[in-house]
Amino acid sequence: MSLSPTEFRSGMRQLAAAVNVITTRHDGARAGMTATAVMSLTAEPPQIAVAVNRSNASYAAITGSGVFAVNVLANDHAAIASRFAGADGVKGEARFSAGQWDVLETGAPILRDCAASFDCTLVQEVAFTSHVVLVGLVRAVRVAPGTTPLLFMDGAWASLVRANDGDFAAYEQLIGELTGALDAVLASQGSFTRKLHDFSAAFIRVNAPVVDVLRDFYTRETFASASRLDAINQRKREVEHKLQDLLIRGVGTGEFEARDPVAAADAILGLLNGIHRRPAATGAQAEDLARRLADLVVAMVAKRHPVPA
């Protein structure tokens, strides 16, 4: 049974790839195209390979000039990647009105501020039906260490945000503080309504001054290692369970009204977690926010509110 191109592509969509713009200069005009089919070939001599569709205008320009550059795009180059893939209909030299371009040794255009550029002379061509693998001998390299690369994955531009242990340590410490504050509240005397109020206020009191840590984490967590995420999610579930337990017990004594205490706990945590969408609040501001949100939470489930002193 032969595989259809659609089946092949559906697999390839899952192959996250670095995005490059391959450029050349031929007969006084620049040409360039976006390419993910780029690979390192040998370090000695330094060679790089690119698979180019022979119907692309860039193919004729590269083979005509005998030179090309591979520009490895940075995270903020998605618009350039789209343009050099032909998305806005702009062709040839006009594509270069976006970005700033230099030259190194061969005269092929080198994109300023990209992650790395390899300036090459074309040394070999190997044809495979629609595509030709072009092998370049690298004459010069320009590198910008620390650049975050642009990726292409599942039909969309993607970014790999660098996460370091410091970010996760700060987040884990925050959850630890939160859990400690909640345990203290839950162990205190008083009605379930009072406990729920103090639980909510403690949650905000811990989170409000450090929303930057939270916001940072929410943008990075997808890139954390699986074991690190498991550890963090485990801590989050502890908090969920404590709140569910509090609500169930409050319903049991008739203090709370909630047909589905687990869903109510989710809704409450959703409200309290929304704090990371606000600017950081400290001191009296954080205190005021804690009190107001705690009142709101109590109003969601308690039969009697405001909270009895």
Q: Which of 36, 65, 117, 200 binds ligand FMN (CB under 6 A)?
A: 36
Cα–Cα distance list, 120 to 8, 83, 138, 292 (Å): 31, 23, 4, 64
Interface with ligand FMN, residue 49, by CB under 6 A: no
Q: Which residues contact 194 (CB under 8 A, 6 or more apart)?
A: 188, 307, 308
CB of 84: closest distance to ligand FMN in angstroms? 6
Interface with ligand FMN, residue 91, by CB under 6 A: yes
Q: Which is nearer to ligand FMN, 56 or 179 (CB)?
A: 56
Phi, psi for residue 292 in degrees, rounded to 5? -65, -45
CB of 220: closest distance to ligand FMN in angstroms? 24
CB of 29: closest distance to ligand FMN in angstroms? 11
Neighbours of 116 (CB within 10 A): 18
β-bridge pairing 29-35 and 38-42: unpaired
Q: Binding segment for ligand FMN among 2-10, 45-53, 234-242, 286-294 (CB under 6 A)?
A: 45-53
Neighbours of 196 (CB within 10 A): 27
CB of 82: closest distance to ligand FMN in angstroms? 7
Whether residue 132 contacts residue 147, with contact meaning beta carbons closer than 8 Å, is answered with no
Interface with ligand FMN, residue 53, by CB under 6 A: yes
Interface with ligand FMN, residue 52, by CB under 6 A: yes
Q: Which of 96, 118, 152, 203 binds ligand FMN (CB under 6 A)?
A: 152
Q: Which of 25, 26, 30, 33 binds ligand FMN (CB under 6 A)?
A: 33
Neighbours of 283 (CB within 10 A): 9
Cα gap 208→276, rounded to integer Å: 8
Interface with ligand FMN, residue 265, by CB under 6 A: no
Q: How many residues does the chain have?
A: 309
Interface with ligand FMN, residue 85, by CB under 6 A: yes
Whether residue 118 contacts residue 41, with contact meaning beta carbons closer than 8 Å, is answered with no
* Total chain residues near ligand FMN (CB under 6 A): 16
Q: Binding segment for ligand FMN among 2-10, 84-92, 159-167, 252-260 (CB under 6 A)?
A: 84-92
Chain Cα centroid distance, residue 50: 27
Q: Binding segment for ligand FMN among 54-62, 134-142, 205-213, 264-272 (CB under 6 A)?
A: 54-62
- Terminal-to-terminal C-alpha distance of the chain: 75
Contacting residues toward ligand FMN, per CB under 6 A: 19, 33-37, 51-53, 56-58, 85-86, 91, 152
